[in-house]
Amino acid sequence: MRIWIKVLIEIALLATIVSCGGDTEPETVDSLSIEVTADTLITEEPITEVSEQLQVTEDALIDTANPEGLWDTTMGQLELVVVDSDNVTGNYPLGSIEGTLAGNVLEFTYSEGALSGEGVFRYEDDFNSFTGFQDISGTEFVWDGRRLQEQ
């Protein structure tokens, strides 16, 4: 997921440089001569480089774009924990899951007592809901959910 975000940031940065005429240096605002309209935002801070602004956006996306938290699901309440950037564990009333997150897809194995198998969750871009399934003896059972608490 980080690679995808970095690619988007680099594309945006290149588009901004091209639209500004190429090799120009970042500008600062020394005096204010702007026509003010109802939707104009005025700050007294200097304009920063686009790459710095995009880095803040990337960091915010990384911090919030994950499945960690409490979920109301078709299998009961599910609590997910992101162990590291792509490993996820969770517990629900019937058992537990362990999986790997790639982008907005969590592939996991589940354990419900003597029963175990595999499943997949596909998260919406905002990571506030998912659709998925768990495979029980060759039959896919729907496992959908929505976040109970915002991050």
At residue 135, φ and ψ (nearest 5 deg) are -95, 120
Least confident of 48-57, 71-80, 96-105: 48-57
CB-based burial of residue 108 (10 Å sphere; 0-12 exposed, 13-18 middle, 19+ buried)?
A: buried
Q: What is the pLDDT of residue 19?
A: 52
Q: What is the pLDDT of residue 38?
A: 58
- On whether the CB atoms of residues 93 and 76 are closer than 8 A, the answer is yes
Q: How confident is the model at residue 62 (pLDDT cuts 50, 70, 90)?
A: very low
Residue 7 predicted with pLDDT over 50: no
- On whether the CB atoms of residues 126 and 55 are closer than 8 A, the answer is no
Instruction: Give me the mean pLDDT over the 61-82 stretch.
Output: 87
- Rounded Cα gap, residues 36 and 122, in angstroms: 45
For 24-40, write each residue's pLDDT tens digit: 454 454 555 555 555 65
Token pair, residue 31, equals 């005096």
Instruction: Give me the mean pLDDT over the 47-68 stretch.
Output: 56
Q: What is the pLDDT of residue 107?
A: 98
Q: Which residues contact 25 (CB under 8 A, 6 or more apart)?
A: none
Which is higher by pLDDT, 38 or 75?
A: 75
Q: What is the pLDDT of residue 65?
A: 78
At residue 123, φ and ψ (nearest 5 deg) are -85, 145
Q: What is the pLDDT of residue 41?
A: 56
